[in-house]
């Protein structure tokens, strides 16, 4: 890697005298100096994007499809190098990093196959009293400039879910990756500059999100803001964005319900992975695990036996299952929340200790309802175990959260499944699978504080495009005469 990274901006590769350093999360060594941009660069990127949008309209659907497929191929060709970056800047394990690259590539392929289906519908206008002798139809057109703002976790996948639908419909993009792990995102965006897309169809803005976010989302020429991050940042975006579409995934505190008839081996294996994969830094992390009282002790022992075998250490080693967290402040926040829960009466069944940037896989029991770890999103390797007596109690406990992204239930009883589906206040319900699995083709998003809008093929394309309605008046004299001839 270089020691002064160049970033695609306004159709050029730029560097900056003012930079910020990105560090290896395990070794603590410097990886790169990344441009620390300001409002000047934001203005340049938006101006260039507006011009590129005109050029984008000259491309065919086949051109856009080829571009997405070329990027998909480029990701796989660079899989080894990108995985090393993800391991270094994000603390991913080898398996997680390689899968991240593969998923991102498949997302671009999915949207490439969706391009031929960008169609509209005819409208039966004479169902309206004023619609006699009128013919109507609508179709989708690109929205314009998309602001794609992402978090540090799953940096390629999160950004791919914004870039792919945007370019599929013919939009242009201003991308703002997280400063804690921006390098892999920059590398992926750079692949687009080698395609037929206009050079300024994508610009990457790097630096302090608190400084750069407002001028990006406020700008009237930005028509859609697609944001993945925290609730507080999402609320700030909503306050300043103005009249534009907002698509926001803002996290969760996911409940996973295990009923007495569940396959315990499967439930335990699924939930240990959902609790501690990527150090719990996942919006679908199994933060609350509710187990029916009749099997509670059995589940607990099986869970502890499996979770205690997880290997924590250098993410470059194939045997490592738990790597470092994204930063020491993030690990300290987890430590503070666990200590608060302990002061309020929670019992630590597993883990509960920090060492620098590492935090042990942790399982808590008897956690009071007013503890932060029960209310908010911890974004760390901590889960709360609790018992319930019947499905109504489990659903009631699950719905106490202000979040509503994902919930799961493990049972083979149809009546319990249907009760959960009908009454859980979450955007995604999993049955006999943990919350911590995102299928990239589903409508992805949640209720309440978990955000606005949806990602995922058809839904993301709708969010990043506009409907143009056409009405033909067949009574117009010239048209009527033409029809008679």
Q: Say yes or no: domain 7-250+450-469 is CATH 3.40.605.10.
A: yes
pLDDT at residue 1 greater than cutoff 50: no
d(CA 113, CA 423): 35
Place of tokens 């590539």: 105
- CB neighbours of 79 closer than 8 A, spacing ≥ 6? 98, 101, 102
- Lowest average pLDDT, out of 11-20, 197-206, 318-327, 384-393, goes to 11-20
Per-residue confidence (pLDDT) for residue 478, from 0 to 100: 60
Q: What is the mean pLDDT of residues 83-90?
A: 98
d(CA 337, CA 348): 12
* CA dist list (Å): 460 to 6, 46, 101, 219: 30, 22, 21, 22
pLDDT at residue 475 greater than cutoff 90: no
Residues acting as catalytic residues = 249, 283
Taking Cα atoms as reference points, which of 178, 24, 160 lies closest to residue 90?
Answer: 24
Asked whether the CA dihedral 56, 61, 62, 68 is positive or negative, the reply is positive
d(CA 372, CA 287): 11
Per-residue confidence (pLDDT) for residue 369, from 0 to 100: 96
pLDDT at residue 3 greater than cutoff 80: no
Asked whether the CA dihedral 210, 211, 214, 220 is positive or negative, the reply is negative
Task: Output the furthest CA–CA distance in the chain (Å, rounded).
Answer: 88
Q: Which phi and psi angles does 475 have, rounded to 5°?
A: -85, -10
First to last CA, the chain: 70
* Residues pairing with 358 in the sheet: 355
pLDDT at residue 485 greater than cutoff 60: no
* Strand spans (E) along 97-221: 121-123, 134-142, 145-149, 172-176, 202-204
pLDDT at residue 2 greater than cutoff 50: no
Per-residue confidence (pLDDT) for residue 45, from 0 to 100: 97
Per-residue confidence (pLDDT) for residue 17, from 0 to 100: 85
Q: The whole model's pTM is what? A: 0.95
% of the chain beyond a pLDDT of 90:
95
Mean pLDDT of the chain: 96
Per-residue confidence (pLDDT) for residue 200, from 0 to 100: 97
Taking Cα atoms as reference points, which of 210, 229, 238 lies closest to residue 377?
Answer: 229
d(CA 257, CA 69): 40
| Residue 410 buriedness (CB in 10 A; 0-12 / 13-18 / 19+) | buried
d(CA 381, CA 404): 20
d(CA 471, CA 122): 10
CA 63 vs. chain centroid, Å, equals 27
Boundaries of every domain in the chain: 7-250+450-469, 255-431
Residue 384 token pair? 């709360």
d(CA 142, CA 310): 47
pLDDT at residue 479 greater than cutoff 90: no
Kind plus residue range of the DSSP H or E element containing 224 = strand 222-228
pLDDT at residue 483 greater than cutoff 60: no
Place of tokens 């051109």: 63
Task: Give the number of residues written for the chain.
Answer: 485
pLDDT at residue 122 greater than cutoff 60: yes
d(CA 293, CA 259): 9
SS3 69: helix
- CB neighbours of 484 closer than 8 A, spacing ≥ 6? none
Place of tokens 């498949």: 106
Taking Cα atoms as reference points, which of 328, 329, 350 lies closest to residue 276?
Answer: 350
Per-residue confidence (pLDDT) for residue 16, from 0 to 100: 85
Residue 425 token pair? 């206040």
Domain 255-431: CATH superfamily is Aldehyde Dehydrogenase; Chain A, domain 2 (3.40.309.10)
Q: What is the mean pLDDT of residues 159-181?
A: 98
Q: pLDDT by residue (tens digit) across 251-297?
A: 999 999 999 999 999 999 999 999 999 999 999 999 999 999 999 99
Cα angle, residue 306 at apex, residues 289 and 98 outer, rounded to 5°? 90
Taking Cα atoms as reference points, which of 127, 176, 128 lies closest to residue 155?
Answer: 176
Per-residue confidence (pLDDT) for residue 4, from 0 to 100: 61
Residue 67 token pair? 């571009």
Q: pLDDT by residue (tens digit) across 40-83?
A: 999 999 999 999 999 999 999 999 999 999 999 999 999 999 99
Q: pLDDT by residue (tens digit) across 323-354?
A: 999 999 999 999 999 999 999 999 999 999 99
Per-residue confidence (pLDDT) for residue 482, from 0 to 100: 55
Q: What is the mean pLDDT of residues 243-249?
A: 97
Under 8 Å between Cβ of 136 and 196:
no
Q: Which phi and psi angles does 338 have, rounded to 5°?
A: -65, -40
pLDDT at residue 362 greater than cutoff 70: yes
């Amino acid at each position: 890697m270089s020691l002064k990274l160049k970033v695609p901006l306004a159709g050029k590769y730029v560097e900056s005298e003012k930079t910020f350093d990105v560090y290896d999360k395990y070794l603590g060594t410097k990886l790169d100096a990344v441009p620390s941009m300001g409002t000047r660069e934001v203005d340049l990127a938006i101006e260039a994007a507006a011009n590129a949008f005109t050029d984008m309209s000259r491309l065919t659907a086949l051109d856009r499809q080829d571009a997405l497929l070329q990027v998909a191929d480029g990701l796989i060709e660079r899989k080894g190098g990108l995985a090393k970056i993800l391991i270094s800047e994000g603390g991913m394990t080898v398996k997680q990093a390689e899968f991240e690259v593969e998923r991102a590539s498949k997302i671009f392929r999915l949207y490439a196959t969706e391009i031929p289906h960008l169609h509209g519908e005819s409208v039966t206008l004479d169902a309206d009293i004023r619609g006699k002798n009128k013919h109507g139809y609508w179709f989708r057109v690109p929205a314009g400039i998309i602001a794609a703002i992402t978090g540090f976790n799953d940096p390629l996948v999160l950004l791919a879910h914004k870039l792919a639908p945007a370019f599929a419909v013919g939009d242009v993009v201003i991308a703002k990756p997280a400063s804690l792990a921006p390098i892999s995102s920059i590398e992926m965006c750079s692949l687009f500059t080698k395609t037929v897309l206009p050079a300024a169809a994508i610009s990457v803005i790097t630096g302090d999100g608190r400084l750069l976010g407002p001028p990006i989302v406020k700008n009237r020429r930005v028509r859609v803001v697609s944001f993945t991050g925290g609730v507080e940042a999402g609320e700030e975006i909503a306050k300043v964005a103005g009249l534009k579409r907002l698509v926001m995934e803002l996290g969760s505190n996911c409940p996973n319900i295990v009923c007495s008839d569940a396959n315990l081996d499967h439930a335990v294996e699924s939930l240990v992975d959902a609790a501690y994969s990527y150090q719990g830094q996942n919006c679908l992390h199994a933060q609350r695990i509710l187990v029916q009282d009749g099997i509670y002790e059995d589940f607990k022992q099986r869970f502890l036996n499996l979770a205690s075998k997880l290997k924590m250490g250098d993410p470059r080693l194939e045997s490592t299952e738990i790597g470092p967290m994204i930063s020491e402040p993030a690990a300290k926040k987890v430590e503070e929340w666990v200590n608060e829960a302990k002061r309020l009466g929670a019992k630590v069944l597993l883990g509960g200790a920090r060492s620098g940037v590492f935090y042990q896989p942790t399982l808590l029991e008897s956690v009071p309802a007013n503890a932060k770890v029960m209310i908010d999103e911890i974004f760390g390797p901590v889960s709360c175990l609790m018992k319930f007596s019947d499905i109504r109690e489990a659903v009631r406990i699950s719905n106490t959260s202000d979040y509503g992204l994902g919930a799961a239930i493990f049972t083979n009883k149809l009546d319990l499944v249907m009760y959960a589906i009908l009454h859980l206040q979450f955007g995604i319900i999993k049955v006999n699978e943990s919350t911590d699995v995102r299928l990239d083709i589903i409508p992805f998003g949640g209720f309440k504080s978990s955000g606005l809008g949806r990602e995922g093929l058809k839904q993301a394309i709708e969010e990043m495009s506009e409907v143009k309605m056409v009405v033909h008046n067949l009574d117009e004299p010239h048209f009527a005469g033409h029809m008679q001839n």
